[in-house]
Structure 1
Amino acid sequence: MSRKIHKNNGKKTSRGRPPNFSGQHFLKNRKVLCEMVERAKVSAADTVLDLGAGKGALTTLLMQKAGKVWAVEYDARLVELLKKKTAGSLNTKIIHGDIMQFCLPKGKFVVVSNIPYAITTPIMKKLLSNPCSGMQRGIIVMEKGAARRFTSRIIKDAYVLAWRMWFDIHYIRDISRNYFSPRPSVDSAMIQITRKKDSLIPYKDYRFFLGLAEYALQNPKAPLDYALKGLFTPPQIRCLKKDINVSADIPVGEIHEEQWKGIFKAMVRFVPYPCWPKAKKGNETH
């Protein structure tokens, strides 16, 4: 078994048995676990992913409701425990592997998970940064700060804005740190993700919209005029603000996704393609 040193603590760790620095905190409150399954509206028609399945508290509830359950776990010891707990279940697949290396289902799927703190953003990017994926909806428990950032009215991250063009992301409620073992140092939160019935931007234009979002959100507190300077002419910006109904001094981070749809359409119409902002390398798809 290969081993490597993590700069987090300088200790050698087994690849198949990660220590708690990975942010692995097991949700033990059964009431909350049942609420997650209920809110996700899991049915026999669904393929459900449990990412970071841990000891299987959520997996065992999901397998009673879902058509198929894919439980992904990195820790070899926990994988063996999961196999024992799901033995005899024909609809549950235990996958021993890294969440970030795991291939998402090709068809439609639902995510109901308590995800590891340390890789919260990478997991969310994996799920939401490809609008052509089969992701339909999800109920996810994560670190509270990340949940607030992903659902905030003020958008600071271009990738979060891009997600919102195809998915609705809502903050459901706080979850006490006392509901976890081992107990984390911060509280968690539950969020709900639902694919929009009608996307605001065509799926094929994801990387173009992301380029625009990265360009405009370099300073989320900047006025829209300043954020779009160099992309649109001053007269175009004046017309654009009138078309999308925004005030002159509104910070670009407070622009609503419906208004971003108008900004993108204006870019397509008035800005020559060679001048469109390009998404940073490595950010186009995840």
Structure 2
Amino acid sequence: MTKPYTLKKSLGQHFLHDENMCRKIVQQLRYQPGAQVLEVGPGGGALSKYLIEESIDYKAVEIDKEKYEYLQHTYPALKGRIILQDILQADIPFAGRFHVIGNFPYNISSPIMFRMLDWQEQVDEIIGMFQKEVAQRIAAGPGSKMYGILSVLTQAYFSVEYLFDVPPGCFTPPPKVMSGVLHCANLNNPFAIKNFPKFKQMVKMAFGQRRKTLRNALKGFIPVQDVEKELMDKRAEQLTVAQFVALYKRFFEANG
């Protein structure tokens, strides 16, 4: 008999046990048969056992060696398909475009999304489960207190849709918060951003001190005196994604 796996709080592990919810999450994938799909953090295989039944080229990245061994022993179809590595350190797992799905560990869910943004040229879509508050932040629009760095950066490349809640009782152990599932569809760099690291740096600086106006937050990063007073007197949360992109392009792409 397979040795039961253990839950590791240090890795933020909360495993889905509600089979209807597992199937519902997997059904959110929008792909053509044969598509490449990456599962982030398969854990005990709650989603994996349904994903391997789909007509996809499946791989998974798992940091926990115990889960890695458990999955390959319990689901022979997963042998050779799981990469034992930290997703934040992993190389891009496929050549060409691929889809991403996962119950993202809460303690690194934001860094995982930053990783997906680094890979955005190849990531067709993301079906991600997050702590509800994080999911709401990613999907938030301007003028909201939840609107922030991850909202702007994600929405610069993806359309973001909050799909549904996942109650604590669906997990073992139950988390103390509600979870939420997002669908992010790649818009293929609609703003034609050429230098994502520089754009990211500017957005992070703008939100770094939320109560300050952009004039103070971006002073020293761009020549704020050359920007319309009306814009510089706003706070970061008041700007749309398009306005952030326009500001970035004005100083970092204006000369090519």
- Tell me the TM-score normalized by structure 1: 0.74
Report the Cα offset of residue 206 of structure 1. Answer: 1.0
Matched, 1:256 2:240: yes
Q: 1:100 pairs with 88, 96, 112, which one?
A: 88
Q: 2:47 pairs with 58, 68, 79, which one?
A: 58
Q: Check whether the contact 1:177–1:183 (CA below 8 A) recurs between aligned residues.
A: yes
CA shift in 2, pair 1:265/1:64, >3 Å: same
CA shift in 2, pair 1:237/1:22, >3 Å: same
Q: Which residue of structure 2 aligns with residue 188 of structure 1?
A: 179
Aligned runs of 1:21-36 on 2, under 5 Å? Answer: 21-36=10-25
Residue aligned with 1:39, SS: coil
Distance 1:267 1:98 in 2: 36
Q: Which residue of structure 2 aligns with residue 237 of structure 1?
A: 228
Superposition CA RMSD, Å: 3.0
Q: Which amino acid aligns with 1:111?
A: V
Q: Which amino acid aligns with 1:22?
A: L
Matched, 1:145 2:129: no
- Unpaired stretches in structure 2, ≥5 consecutive residues: none
> Which structure is larger by alpha-carbon Rg, 1 or 2?
1
Figure out how many residues of one structure are paired with residues of the other and give that number. 247
Distance 2:219 2:77 in 1: 62
Residue aligned with 2:165, SS: strand
Distance 2:31 2:19 in 1: 17
Report the Cα offset of residue 160 of structure 1. Answer: 4.5
Q: 1:119 pairs with 91, 108, 113, which one?
A: 108
Matched, 1:136 2:93: no
Q: What is the identity percentage for the equivalent residue pairs of Structure 1 and Structure 2?
A: 24
CA shift in 2, pair 1:180/1:269, >3 Å: closer
Report the Cα offset of residue 249 of structure 1. Answer: 5.8
Q: Which residue of structure 2 aligns with residue 283 of structure 1?
A: none
Deviations 1:155-180 (A, max 9, x none): 66445423322122332222100000
Q: 1:265 pairs with 243, 249, 253, which one?
A: 249
CA shift in 2, pair 1:55/1:232, >3 Å: same
Matched, 1:177 2:168: yes
CA shift in 2, pair 1:135/1:251, >3 Å: same
CA shift in 2, pair 1:261/1:74, >3 Å: closer
Report the Cα offset of residue 235 of structure 1. Answer: 6.0
